[in-house]
């Protein structure tokens, strides 16, 4: 439903709510040579198939990268052979109202108690800012991560997507990847390597669609947030 002006979108079920679609906030990492990949994973690189400086009629690039470089959605296949692949991720999970909250960046397993009361009940998309991200050009040693139990409880409570600014929803040294499993078991999707440095805590509209790449364990996304009326009202207060 389009509300006042072509750039305002009223969210279904949120009476009087409107999102500022003309001013997206980009929460995607810049992908370039040198963007930190997970240690040992395939880094981003770019070559040129055709180059006008060499007499070609067009410029055409060719890229190589792990789909986990930069901001991306994992598919269940990432942690489970034979499971759902990138092109089949449920798009509706990646578009809709989302809530950003900030955690202290001390590496630890985060229990649900630490999050309680910090986001509205019924939140379907939760984005966690820890400050432990690749945004400054280095791969963090470790980061706080939601415990698998907390992820299980959140998914059971209707969470459809967990997004993190860290490189993984699990801790760096995790080999069981229990939080990945708990989210996927509960039908929730996940986003990793978000750049949440320039957004305040609070409600937004999230758009972060995976690409239609077949058979992969993950897909790059272009993730953006749109301000809602609550934040707009907050911004104009002295």
Would you name the residues annotated as active-site residues? Answer: 78
Taking CB under 5 A as the binding criterion, the range among 11-19, 112-120, 133-141, 189-197 that sits at the site for Zn ion is 189-197
Q: Pick one of 68, 129, 180, 231: the residue that binds Zn ion (CB under 5 A).
A: 68
d(CA 155, CA 189): 10
| Minimum distance of Zn ion from residue 223's CB (angstroms) | 13
d(CA 156, CA 76): 17
Task: Check binding of 74 to Zn ion (CB under 5 A).
Answer: yes
Q: Which is nearer to Zn ion, 37 or 227 (CB)?
A: 37
Q: Which is nearer to Zn ion, 186 or 210 (CB)?
A: 210
Q: Helix or strand or coil: residue 204?
A: strand
Task: Check binding of 160 to Zn ion (CB under 5 A).
Answer: no
| Minimum distance of Zn ion from residue 218's CB (angstroms) | 5
Buried b (16+ CB within 10 A) or exposed e, 199-235: beebbbbbbbebbeeeebbbbbbebbbbbbbebeeee
**Neighbour tally for 116: CB within 10 Å:** 9
How many residues sit in the footprint of Zn ion (CB under 5 A)? 3
Taking CB under 5 A as the binding criterion, the range among 3-11, 69-77, 93-101, 206-214 that sits at the site for Zn ion is 69-77
Q: Which is nearer to Zn ion, 19 or 94 (CB)?
A: 94
Residues in Cβ contact with 133 at an 8 Å cutoff, skipping those fewer than 6 apart: 29, 140, 143, 165, 166, 167, 193, 194, 195, 196, 197
Structural tokens at position 149: 């139990």
Taking CB under 5 A as the binding criterion, the range among 11-19, 49-57, 74-82, 226-234 that sits at the site for Zn ion is 74-82
**Neighbour tally for 3: CB within 10 Å:** 14
| Minimum distance of Zn ion from residue 74's CB (angstroms) | 4
Contact residues for Zn ion, defined by CB under 5 A:
68, 74, 192
């Amino acid at each position: 439903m389009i509300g006042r002006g072509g750039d305002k979108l009223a969210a279904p079920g949120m009476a009087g709510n409107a999102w500022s679609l003309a001013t997206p906030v980009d929460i995607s990492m810049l992908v370039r040579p040198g963007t930190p990949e997970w240690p040992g994973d395939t880094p981003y690189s770019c070559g040129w198939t055709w180059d006008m400086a060499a007499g070609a009629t067009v410029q055409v690039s060719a890229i190589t990268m792990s789909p986990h470089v930069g901001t991306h959605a994992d598919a269940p296949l990432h942690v489970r052979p034979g499971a759902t692949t990138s092109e089949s991720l449920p798009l509706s999970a990646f578009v809709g109202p989302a809530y950003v909250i900030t955690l202290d960046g001390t590496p630890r397993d985060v229990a649900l108690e630490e999050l309680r009361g910090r986001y509205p009940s019924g939140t379907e998309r939760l984005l966690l800012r820890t400050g432990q991200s690749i945004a400054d050009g280095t791969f963090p040693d470790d980061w706080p991560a939601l415990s698998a139990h907390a992820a299980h409880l959140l998914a059971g409570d209707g969470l459809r997507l967990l997004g993190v600014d860290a490189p993984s929803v699990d801790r760096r040294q995790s080999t069981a990847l229990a939080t990945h499993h708990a989210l996927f078991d509960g039908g929730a999707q996940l986003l990793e390597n978000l750049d949440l440095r320039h957004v305040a805590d609070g409600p937004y509209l999230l758009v972060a669609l995976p690409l239609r790449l077949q058979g992969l364990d993950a897909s790059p996304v272009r993730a953006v947030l749109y301000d809602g009326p609550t934040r707009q009202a907050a911004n104009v207060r002295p």
